[in-house]
Structure 1
Amino acid sequence: MDVPAIYLVFGNETEITQKKRRDILIEAGYDPALRKPLERMTPDLWNLESIVVFKKIFADPKYRKHLLHLKQINANLLRFFSLLRARNQRPKLHIRFLENLMQESLSDDELLQICQLIEEIDLYKPHWKFRSIADVYKLESTMIQELENSTFQEEVVSYPEPPFEGNEWISPIRSNLDLYWEGKNQHNCVFDYDQKIRDGRFYLYHTNGKTKCTVSFLNIEGDWFLDQIAGPCNKPADPETYHQLEAWRLRNGILILGDVFRMGLPASWMLE
């Protein structure tokens, strides 16, 4: 049985020269420039699925710039960039932040929250810099304080029709004025998503259960994904609210990002 060429790149065949490795990459459909970045990947990522995901991330110049400056690429980093790519985020990232990210033990939900906060910061103050995960959370607090002291001075604009019907428990936020008050009342930064909601990339809802929560949904290639759910001051919702949201999500065919980005199961649109 022939061994797939891509695995030979990471094998122990010491007789394979650098030139032969280059030829193997070309035959496998990979850019030879990928060889050195690929060799920085930790051993647990030496599988075809991870390498295919990496190839798609590396193809974007914005992400490639960061990857080329790192001495090591681990699962945390690959999952983080996969989420950025899915959410169409291309933030400016300091190398020290990425190194800090790789050192932490982070769940899919924690990585997703970091992506969301980075997007909010980038929308609000693109020039703000952060060099660690702790910096991201500090900037979030500063941003919330500034938004709470702001006033609504825009023309009221209605949003597109919501993707899912609401009910007494969960209701769509239908205008920029409603979004402004959602941010004020919930002490969060959701008003920064105003333009993305108008563009059809996001839609936000409000829950009226035990914990009043803001819930956001992300549109990826026509499919709607649950993006985040947060109570006042971005605190976690209570278990009852999570259970209610899960039942409502399943009834409406809403997907979850965490399920899509498990290593080894990349979504088809990630590989196209």
Structure 2
Amino acid sequence: MADLFTPLQVAGRQLANRIVMAPAPSGLAGRDGFCHAALVSYYERRARAGVGLIVTELLLICEPSEPVAHLGIWHDSFLPGLRRLSAAAHAFGSRIAFLLEAPAVGIPVTSLVELYLQAAWRALAAGADGVFLSIADDGALAQLVSPRHALSNGAHSSANDRIQPVLAIVEQMRQRFGRRLWIGLRMPAAELIPGGLRHQDARLIARRAVAAGVQMLDVTVNRYTPDVARFPGWTIPLVAGIRRIASEAVVIGSGQLSDPLLADAVIQDGSVDLVMLCTALRMVPEWPQLARRSLLSVSVE
């Protein structure tokens, strides 16, 4: 039976354990888009502590229209800093995946596909183990997929139709890069608001994404849920519902899983394959080491 510290093989590469660092802003990105030394050190500290997989904060695949703090991957000039970031993770046995994002500024779908492909090539050139696309946040792909945006524009379409541009990106990435690059999808289990993405829609999206070539599903519940009670593990039943119909993929779950016993339990009972932590790793970078000691002490008792 797998537990929190059981290694996992994913498409020919091994994760040292089941702990994933969430793609939350570090607060260290600047307005020039470059990956500077302080930001590399931030991720390096989490890798040194034993995080199995680091999913970076978002990297923009095109230049932002307004000056904002960000990381960039739309130009080759960003590669040296990104190579240092990948090397810092690998030096301590962590795997690293870049979260690719396009701002929601009305980019044509054909242009989006090419921008994502170019960004994925740069991620590979920078030494990343994989890339994630996101339909869970507020970027261009999320706005294409979420029914909230389709309805606000007066359009009525099915989840099956709305996911097509994302599938096109995934399929072309898989054709171009094969097993050299993991492809992950960050997706909502449901939006839990009127007019939002339903759980049954999410299950359809997960099935189609995996069939197109997605190897990892980061299943989350986004911030558009103000009236939903949150407690440790509150999203896991929804995540497990996705895992049951997408068992070919590695499924990542999150939702206040900072208690090592709980994080270990959701791995052991098969609800998820990997556990993603956000605030816990931000506040306590050495959480993996502390969790290992905590679980060892329980097993000894």
Both proteins in one fold, TM over 0.5: no
Structure that is richer in strand per residue: 2
Structure that is richer in helix per residue: 1
TM-score of the two chains, using structure 2 as the length reference: 0.27
Bigger relative contact order, structure 1 or 2, given CA contacts below 8 A and separation 6+?
A: 2
TM-score of the two chains, using structure 1 as the length reference: 0.29
